[in-house]
């Protein structure tokens, strides 16, 4: 009975999100937020060492209390230096898939981002970046997977062929979107061994229509505001540390996530293979503790994290939130031993 109540509560939230014309869908999010530049701030497009960056991420959540919430993204970024200057332009593409709960509420989205990165101080690799993002989103659900009150017949039980008595909306909707951001990145300290970055962004600037009832106008997506900040320190030849934070606000909802990681590089700095292993802990305010493991091997990065749910839902979730995996590759189109002149992060 307790498990049935858990599932019923989750199903009720999903039904209210789909059937209510006043619903305000919230954006997807990741615990490894530092690997999702285009989703956080389009001005972060191109902010990495190298000429290109590719990544894939997968998140699976709430297996313990309902049909799992699954989210996956794939993205690619390139950057091009402008003439002989230190300025550069970044270009990015990102697509994501999100499926929620037992009625398969599914979102598909494709997004394009471009950034202009102005060099303010070559000595410290200081850049002021402005980015723009545009995207297309399609959302749908499966009406055949709904079980509604009128289909439960007294003395008989559930009859899927019984009339629902509900006016179900169109199972598909789509919208166009736009976002804008600005970011400041620089290096400081002895030999520029400390890097920091801070930025702000806004999404859904046009507040696109967001409802499955096509004949009801005025139900619009809430704008989302984002603040990103991070700092990286090269402490010794083998040890480094990172502090990261992200704040997101959309309508009456907000999310604060902060954390830190320490990394150790293989002792042989002259080795052909560079290996750095990071361990750390993130905290999503009033929601989850998130142990994080990250491995850099040459131009590949592998990340894994797990949400330990500590919110009011912990009695139902038994501290189990969800796991997340990421793979990132950066590199050069030309000489792999040449450093891109617009280096914006401290070298390991």
Q: For the chain, list the domains and their CATH numbers.
A: 2-152+175-331 (2.40.160.40)
Give the whole-angstrom CA distance, residue 100 versus residue 116. 36
Q: What is the per-residue pLDDT for 22?
A: 44
- Name the nearest CA neighbour of 191 among 253, 236, 133: 236
The answer on pLDDT for 6 being more than 50 is no
Give the whole-angstrom CA distance, residue 53 versus residue 329. 6
Q: What is the per-residue pLDDT for 344?
A: 60
Q: What integer is the mean pLDDT of 296-324?
A: 81
Q: In this structure, are residues 256 and 285 in contact, taking their beta carbons and an 8 Å threshold?
A: yes
Give the whole-angstrom CA distance, residue 103 versus residue 100. 7
Give the whole-angstrom CA distance, residue 135 versus residue 225. 17
Q: What is the per-residue pLDDT for 267?
A: 67
Q: What is the per-residue pLDDT for 278?
A: 97
**218 vs 305, higher pLDDT:** 305
Write out the H or E segment, with its range, that includes residue 9: helix 2-19
Q: What is the per-residue pLDDT for 166?
A: 76
Give the whole-angstrom CA distance, residue 201 versus residue 203. 7
Q: What integer is the mean pLDDT of 128-134?
A: 97
Give the whole-angstrom CA distance, residue 188 versus residue 234. 11
Q: What integer is the mean pLDDT of 320-327?
A: 88
Q: What is the per-residue pLDDT for 217?
A: 65
Q: What is the per-residue pLDDT for 272?
A: 73
Give the whole-angstrom CA distance, residue 122 versus residue 341. 9
Q: What does the pLDDT look like over 22-46, one tens digit per residue?
A: 444 568 889 999 999 999 999 999 9
Q: In this structure, are residues 302 and 295 in contact, taking their beta carbons and an 8 Å threshold?
A: yes
Kindly state the percentage of the chain with pLDDT values over 70. Answer: 81
**294 vs 25, higher pLDDT:** 294
The answer on pLDDT for 294 being more than 90 is yes
Q: Is 43 helix (H, G, I), strand (E, B) or coil?
A: helix
Give the whole-angstrom CA distance, residue 268 versus residue 348. 12
Residue 3 pLDDT grade (very low, low, confident, very high; cuts 50, 70, 90):
very low
Give the whole-angstrom CA distance, residue 79 versus residue 127. 14
Write out the H or E segment, with its range, that includes residue 37: helix 37-40
Q: In this structure, are residues 255 and 231 in contact, taking their beta carbons and an 8 Å threshold?
A: no
- Name the nearest CA neighbour of 290 among 327, 321, 256: 321
- At which residue do the structure tokens 């390991």 appear? 348
Q: What is the per-residue pLDDT for 2?
A: 40
* Mean per-residue pLDDT of the chain: 84
- Which region among 161-165, 222-226, 261-265, 310-314 has the lowest average model confidence (pLDDT)? 310-314
Residue 167 pLDDT grade (very low, low, confident, very high; cuts 50, 70, 90):
confident
Q: In this structure, are residues 277 and 301 in contact, taking their beta carbons and an 8 Å threshold?
A: no
The verdict on pTM exceeding 0.85 is: no
Give the whole-angstrom CA distance, residue 54 versus residue 157. 51
Q: What is the per-residue pLDDT for 270?
A: 56
CA 265-270-272 angle, 5° bins: 85
Q: What is the per-residue pLDDT for 21?
A: 42
Can you read off the two tokens belonging to residue 158? 């559930």
Q: What is the dihedral of CA 153, 155, 159, 162, to 10 degrees?
A: -30
Write out the H or E segment, with its range, that includes residue 15: helix 2-19
Q: What is the per-residue pLDDT for 7?
A: 42
Q: What is the per-residue pLDDT for 177?
A: 92
The answer on pLDDT for 1 being more than 60 is no
- Which region among 10-19, 62-71, 99-108, 275-284 has the lowest average model confidence (pLDDT)? 10-19
What phi, psi does 131 have (nearest 5°)? -130, 150
Q: What is the per-residue pLDDT for 313?
A: 64
């Amino acid at each position: 009975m307790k498990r049935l109540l858990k599932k019923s509560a989750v199903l009720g939230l999903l039904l209210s999100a789909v059937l209510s014309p006043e619903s305000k869908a919230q954006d997807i999010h990741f615990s490894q937020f530092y690997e999702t530049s285009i989703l956080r701030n389009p001005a972060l497009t191109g902010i990495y060492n190298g000429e290109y960056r590719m990544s894939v991420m997968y998140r699976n959540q709430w297996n313990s209390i309902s049909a799992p919430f699954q989210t996956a993204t794939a993205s690619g970024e390139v950057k091009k230096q402008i003439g002989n200057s230190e300025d550069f332009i970044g270009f990015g593409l990102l697509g994501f898939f999100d499926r929620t709960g037992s009625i398969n509420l599914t979102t598909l989205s494709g997004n394009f981002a471009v950034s202009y990165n102005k060099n303010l101080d070559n000595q410290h690799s200081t850049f002021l970046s402005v980015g723009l993002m545009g995207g297309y989103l399609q959302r749908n659900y499966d009406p055949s997977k709904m079980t509604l009150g009128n289909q439960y017949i007294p003395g008989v039980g559930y009859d899927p062929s019984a009339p629902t008595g509900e006016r179900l909306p169109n199972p598909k909707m789509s919208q166009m979107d736009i976002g804008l951001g600005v970011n400041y990145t620089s290096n400081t300290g002895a030999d520029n061994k400390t890097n920091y970055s801070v930025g702000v962004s806004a999404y859904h600037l046009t507040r696109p229509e967001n409802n499955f009832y096509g004949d009801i106008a005025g139900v619009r997506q809430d704008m989302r505001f984002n603040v990103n900040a991070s700092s990286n320190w090269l402490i010794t030849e083998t040890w480094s540390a990172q502090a990261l934070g992200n704040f997101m606000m959309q309508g009456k909802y907000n999310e604060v996530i902060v954390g830190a990681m320490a990394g150790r590089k293989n002792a042989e700095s002259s080795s052909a293979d560079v290996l750095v292993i990071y361990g750390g802990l993130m905290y999503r305010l009033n929601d989850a503790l998130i142990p994080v493991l990250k491995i850099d091997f040459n131009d590949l990065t592998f990340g894994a994290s797990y949400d330990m749910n500590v919110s009011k839902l912990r009695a139902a979730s038994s501290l189990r939130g969800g796991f997340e995996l990421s793979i990132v590759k950066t590199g050069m189109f030309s000489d792999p031993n040449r450093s891109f002149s617009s280096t914006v992060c401290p070298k390991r």
